[in-house]
Amino acid sequence: MSFETQYNLKSPGVKRLMREAKELAEPTEEYFASPLEDNLFEWHFTVRGPPATEFEGGYYHGRILLPTQYPMQPPNIILLTPNGRFEINKKICLSISGHHPESWQPSWSIRTALLALIAFMPTSPAGTIGSLDYSPQERKNLATKSLDWNCSSCGNISQKLLQAPPPTNPTQEESTLIKEINLKAEEDSAKKEGGESKAKEDEKLEEPVSSPTGDQSTLRQRNVVDGSASAVSVAPSATDSLLQASIRSVNRDKFWSTIIWVILAMILLLVIRRAFFL
């Protein structure tokens, strides 16, 4: 695989991706990724399902689409293998994917994205884009079927990783990523719940109210009057501006009219003087 003749080697993004391609050239027990032979900005990857979860024993294949501004902008991740956690052939929502550019850090890499994906698989969908909520048994069945899954470009994915069992305890880097991802999921869930609560409050405000009587009618009329007074209090500022502009325009017209009349009077006096004193 040689990209020297295809890309500008002075480009920061090209330099970064070629360096990462060398670093990830050898598969591990947990993941493997490499660019396509004719496209440095599209990678295919395979990850092993995290142990002690319903994804254990499964192999999951996908695509990573990298922007030309990488690493300043995040990649998009697409899973191709049915898994019961993410929709296939659709960009999934992670705190380090293109759905959340505000969370992306240029120091992160494709390896970081793969570790995040593995860590994110057993977490709750929380209504994020591209998520699925299959039962544990359905996911176990899909994990078993994934062993026979083939990619049209890469072949059988179960042969892509080293066969040694993956470590059961997450590394410090993986633990940090899990915390960041979980926090992002909770933040998105809170935003969604907050939006729903606000929508319900707006609906309550728009609900028709029965005809008021007595004090309620008086109070409502007072509110209407107060609202009208408030609206009127805002209007004078604009009206005053227009009035002042109009006054200035009239004054200018008067000024020039006066000058014209003075000039005409002086000319008339000169004409009369010449006519009578010649």
- Please say whether the dihedral angle defined by the alpha carbons of residues 119, 121, 124 and 129, taken in this order, is positive or negative: positive
**Those residues with Cβ within 8 angstroms of residue 96's Cβ, 6 or more apart along the chain or in another chain:** 74, 103, 104, 108, 112, 113, 116, 181
User: 269 — phi, psi (to 5°)?
Assistant: -65, -40
Euclidean distance between CA atoms 182 and 75, whole angstroms:
19
Q: DSSP labels for 157-205? A: GGGSS-SSPPPSSPPHHHHHHHHHHHHHHHHHHHHHHHHHHHHHHHHHH
Of the candidates 47, 66, 78, 93, the residue annotated as catalytic is 93
User: Is 93 a catalytic site residue?
Assistant: yes
Quick one: tokens of 113? 């994205």
Nearest to 160 by CA among 199, 102, 114: 114
Give the span between the Cα atoms of 262 and 9, in whole angstroms.
80
Q: Give the integer Cα–Cα distance in Å for 7 and 21.
A: 14
d(CA 230, CA 224): 10
Cα first-last separation, the chain:
110
Catalytic positions are 93
